[in-house]
Structure 1
Amino acid sequence: MALAYIIIAFVIILLNIGEVPRIVGMILGDAFTPMAGFGAAIGWGVKRGVYSNEAGQGTGPHAAAAANVDHPAQQGLVQSFSIYIDTLLVCSATAFMILITGAYNVHGPESTFLVQNLAETVGANGPAFTQLAIESTMPGVGKLFIAFALFFFAFTTILAYYYIAETNIAYIRRTFKVNGLMFLLKLVLITSVFYGTVKAANLAWAMGDVGVGLMAWLNIVGILIIFFIAKPAIVALKDYEKQQKEGVEEYTFNPVALGIKNADYWEGRYERKTGKKSEAVKKGDSVSAQTQTS
C-alpha cells in the first residue's frame, strides 16, 4: 500500500514538475521562520511525525522483539531505517501532493484563514486535502484511491496496536493474575473502532495526542536512564560492527560478555547456538573471538 501511495504521488509530481522548485523553496523557507519553530514545527510537525514513525514512543520494540535475527543490532538497524520509509517517503509524498496542487487551507487564530484555497468546511484533521489533491490531477481517482489507502493503512494499524496491547496484557498477567483482561481488551478495541467511524476525527486526534504524549515521556525517561547507566544499544551496535569488520560468517551475541544484564533470551540463544555457557570475558580478550568459538 505504501508503494502504491508513493507511486501515485510521483505521478502527480511529474505532472506538475514545473512547480517542484517553488514547493521546495516554500518548504525550506517556511521551515526556518520563527513561527515554524514555535508553532507549526512543534505543534504539528513533531506530533504527526511521531504518529508516523513511532520514534521514542516505545511501541516499536513489540514487533521488533518478534523478529528472528542473529544479532539484536540487525533488527535495530531495520527499525531505524523504517523511520525514513514512514516519514521521509510516505509523509513527504503526502506533503508534495497537497502543496503542489494547492489543495489546502492554512488556519489562523479565531477561525480565520492565513491561506484559503478550499471551502472553509473542508477539515484539516482528515484525508480531505489528500483526496482533493489527487482528484484535481486525476479526476475520478482521488476519492476511491484514498478510500482504499485509508482502509489498508487503518486495518494494519488496528492489527499492530492490538498486537502491542495484547503483548502488554500478557506481560502484566505474569505478575497480576486477572481473568478476562484479553476479552476486555478486544471489547474496548472493537468499541473504539466503531466509535471512530461515526464521530469526527478531532476527538480521536486529541485523545491520541494525550496518549502518545504520556507514553513517549515515560518511555524517553526510561531510555535516558538506561542509556546513561549501561548504554546497551550502543554496546550491542559496537559488537555487531566489530563482527562485521572481522568478516564473520554467522553473527552471535553474548550479552553477559558485553556487560548487558537481564537479556535472558539472548543468553539462552547464545548457549544453544555455541554449546557453551554465556560468560563475561576477561579484560583485553576479544569478545567476537569468544562468541565465535563453540
Structure 2
Amino acid sequence: MEKYVSFLNGILWSDIVIYILLGIGLLFTILTRFLQVRHLKEMVTLLFQGKSSEAGVSSFQALSIALSGRVGTGNIAGVATAIAFGGPGAVFWMWTISFIGASSAFIESTLAQIYKVKQDNQYRGGPAYYIEKGIGWKWFAVLYALTAIIALAILMPGVQSNSIAIGVDNAFGINPVITGITIVILLGFIIFGGIKRIANAAQIIVPFMALGYILISLIIIAMHISELPAVISLIFRSAFGLDSAFGGIIGMAISWGVKRGMYSNEAGQGTGAHPAAAAEVSHPAKQGLVQAFSVYIDTLFVCSATAFMILFTGMYNTQAGDGSFIVNNLKGIEAGPGFTQAAINSVLPGFGAGFVAIALFFFAFTTLMAYYYIAETNIAYLTRGKNSNWPMLALKLGILATTFYGTMNEASLAWALGDIGLGVTVWLNIIAISILAKPALVSLKDYEKQKKQGLDPVFNPKALGIKNADYWEEEFKRDTEFTLSKRKVE
C-alpha cells in the first residue's frame, strides 16, 4: 500500500507542482497589492468585531474554528519532519508560503462569504458553494465536496490522532488504544453538539493552547538568545543552498518547507473558507482579512516557535536524499514530536515530553473538530433539500472510526495518506480560486473605498456586478428597507 501512496504523493507534490502553488500565491499577493502588509492593523482590529447570531458565529469564533484546523500536529510534528528531510532551510520556505498564502486565504475566505447561503438556519459556504454559484460548474463543486469529505473524514484525521498517541506514549507510556478511546469519547461529545459547541470549544481552547506553547518557546529562546544570529543565518543560508552542510538539499528544503507549510496553514486548501462563511459580518472582505491573519498566527508564530526550539537546542536529525545523515543528533528517534520533546527536555529536564504530549493533544484535537465541521459542511452541500440526518450520522461515526484507527497506524503511512488528502483538495481549490478571484478582488476594492469614506462597509453585490450572491442581495435589500422605514418614522 505504501508503494502506491508514495507514487500518488510523488505526482501531487512534484517539484513543478510546488513552484506552481508558490506562483499562484505570489500572483494573489500582487493582485491584492500585498494586503497582508497593508492591512495588518485592520486584520487585528477586525478580530474582535462582530457578534454571533442564531445563524452564524462571530468573527473571532470563525477565526478560532479556522485556527483549530490550521494549528494542529503540523505545527509540532510537521515542522520537525520538514527539518528532518529539508534541513533548517525548510523553515524559511514555510515562512514564505505563509506570507504569500495569506493572500490566498483572503481570496478563498472572501469568496466563501460572498457566495454563502442560509441553510437549515445556519450559514454555510466554502469551495463547493462558490464553485457552483461563482463559476457555474456544479460537477466540479460536487467533485470538491466528495474529495473534501474523503480527505477530511478518512485520510487526514489519522495524522492528528497518530501524533497524539505517539506523544502520549512517549511521555506517559499510555497504550495507544486507551488514547484512541479517550479521543473518540471527547470528540464525539463535541461534534454531536453542532457548530455552536464546536465554536465555543474552539474559542476557549485555541488561544489558551497557542499562547502557552509560544510562552515556553520564548523561555527557551531567551535562554539561548546569544545564538539567535547564528540560527537565523543557518536558516537563510540553508534555504538558498549557501551552507556547506545543507547546500546539496536545497530542492528538498523548498519542497518540504512548502508542503509542510501548506499542511500547517492550509492556505489555498479551502478548509479555512468553510468557517469563514459561517461568520456574521457586514462585508465579505472583513472575514477575508481575519482569515488572512490566521495564517500568520499559525506559521509565523506557532510553527516558528517549534522551529526555534529545535534549532536552538540542536535536537534534530536531517537526512540527505540517499538516506545518509547530514545531522544525526537524535539517534533512533523518528522525525516528529520526539524532536520537540527532546528540545524542551534539554533545557527543562523532565518537562519536555509531558508538555509536548499535552500541547499535541490540544493542537490535534481541535484540528479534528475543524475537520468534522468542514466535512459536515460538504455533506450539507450535497444533501440540500434532502434529509441529511443519516449522512450526518454516518460522517460522525466515520470520523470517529478513522480517528481511532489513526492512533494504531504507522506514523509514516498516516502522514503519507494525509498528504494525498491535502494534495487533492489543494489542487481542486486552487483551480477554482484562480478562475474566480475577480469577485474577491472587487470586494476588497469596495471595502477599501468605503473605509476611506469613513464608513463601516456594507456589501451590495449588484452594484459591484457580482452575480448569484443571493444571501447578500437579500441582506442589502432588507437593510435598505429598514433604513427607509426608520427615516419615515423619524
Fold match (TM-score > 0.5): yes
Please show how residues 1-294 of structure 1 align to structure 2 within 5 Å.
Answer: 1-33=209-241, 35=248, 37-42=250-255, 44-119=256-331, 121-124=332-335, 126-174=336-384, 180-227=390-437, 231-248=438-455, 250-275=456-481
Q: Is this contact kept in 1: 2:249–2:321, CA < 8 A?
A: no
Return 5+ residue gaps in structure 1 as ranges. 277-292
**Aligned equivalents of 2:223, 2:354: Cα separation in 1:** 20
Change (3 A) 1:18 1:215: same
Instruction: State the distance in 1 between where 2:239 and 2:323 align.
Output: 23
Query: What is the alpha-carbon distance in structure 2 between the residues aligned to residue 163 and residue 136 of structure 1?
Result: 38
Which deviates more from structure 2 when the two are superposed, residues 107-116 or residues 18-27?
Answer: 107-116
User: Which is worse superposed, 28-37 or 238-247?
Assistant: 28-37
What is the alpha-carbon distance in structure 1 between the residues aligned to residue 380 and residue 355 of structure 2?
A: 37
- The answer for the alignment partner of 1:282 in structure 2 is none
**Which residue does 2:30 correspond to in 1?**
none
Listed as ranges, the gaps of 5+ residues in structure 2 are 1-208, 242-246
Inter-partner Cα distance in structure 1 for 2:385 and 2:474? 22
Flag the 1:179–1:145 CA change in 2: closer, same or farther, 3 A: closer
Partners in 2 of 1:57 and 1:139 — Cα distance? Answer: 39
Offset of residue 37 of structure 1? 4.5
SS in 2 for 1:180: helix
Change (3 A) 1:170 1:205: same
Separation in structure 2 between the aligned mates of residue 36 and residue 28 of structure 1, nearest angstrom? 13
Structure 2 residue matching 1:114: 3-state secondary structure: strand
Tell which structure's C-alpha radius of gyration is larger.
Answer: 1
Q: Which amino acid aligns with 2:439?
A: P
State the shift of 1:179 in Å: 6.5
Higher RCO (CA 8 Å, separation ≥ 6 residues):
2
Matched letter for residue 27 of structure 1: I
1:10 maps to a residue whose letter is L
Letter of the aligned partner of 1:268 in structure 2?
E
- The structure carrying a bigger helix percent of its residues is 2
Could you tell me how far apart the structure 2 residues matched to 1:156 and 1:88 are?
19
Three-state SS of the structure 2 residue aligned to 1:91 is helix
Tell me how many residue pairs correspond in the alignment. 272
1:89 is aligned with what amino acid? F
The 1:179–1:7 alpha-carbon spacing in structure 2 relative to 1, beyond 3 Å, is closer
Residues 42-78 of structure 1, C-alpha deviation per residue, up to 9 Å, x if partnerless? 1x11111111111000111110011111111011001
- Tell me the CA shift for residue 175 of structure 1: 6.8
Residues 136 and 112 (structure 1 numbering): CA distance in 2 closer, same or farther, change over 3 Å?
A: same
So what's the TM-score if we normalise by structure 2?
A: 0.53
